[in-house]
Every structure is written in structure tokens, then in C-alpha cells.
Amino acid sequence: MSETTVPLTLVIGSIQSLGSTVQVTVTFNEVTTNDQVVNIASTPSGFFSSIPPQVTLPQGASSLTFNVTVATNASGGGSITASCNGGHATGSCATPAG
């Protein structure tokens, strides 16, 4: 994979309850020829109580899944953005209705 813009997608699983763990999947449009560091950001601040700042897509892979934890006091919705080599993708999720 060259160092040009990397098209990717991001999918966030459903939130079952506040404080729960949710899977996030980042998918590249091609298999990587070397490890790719993917930067992770979220909004609003504090919606996720645990979220990695970076994840690494290993050489030979086209997707990776990692876990985030929804804060016990989260409300409304949140979003996660993954970025790598100029490409980025954002996914959104919402807390379950009460």
C-alpha cells in the first residue's frame, strides 16, 4: 500500500447499555502491504470512557476490530473518526432509549 490517501470505512456496533463495551470495525479498501497506524478520535469528549488513541492494521489485513467502552453517564450520541494516510471515516452511535 502506498502512502497516498487510504479510503476506509468505520462501523460502530450497537450500544446495549451505558457502560457497555462496543466493537468498532475499520475496513480499508485493499489489503495492506505493511502495518498501518490508524488514529482514532471521538466526540463529544467523555462519551466513551475507554477508547484507544491509535490502533494498528497489520500487514496483509484489510480490516481490524477494536473495543470501546461507553461512559456510564453518556447521553445522546457520539461519533468515532478513524484516519490514516490522509483518508478518514466517521461512524456514529446513540445511547439506547430509556
Right CATH for 8-86 from 2.30.30, 2.60.40, 3.40.50, 3.40.140: 2.60.40
Burial class (CB in 10 A: 0-12, 13-18, 19+), 28: buried
CA distances (Å), origin 71, targets 18, 20, 22, 39, 95 = 6, 8, 11, 21, 10
pTM of the prediction?
A: 0.89
82, pLDDT greater than 50: yes
5-58 confidence digits (pLDDT tens) = 668 899 999 999 999 999 999 999 888 899 999 999 999 999 999 999 999 999
CA distance 16 to 21: 8
Query: Grid coordinates in use for 91?
Result: 461512524
* Band of pLDDT at residue 1, cut at 50, 70 and 90: very low
Question: What would the mean pLDDT of 66-73 be, rounded to a whole number?
Answer: 97
CB 90 within 8 A of CB 80: yes
Domain boundaries, the chain: 8-86
| pLDDT value of position 22 | 96
Q: What is the pLDDT at residue 60? A: 95
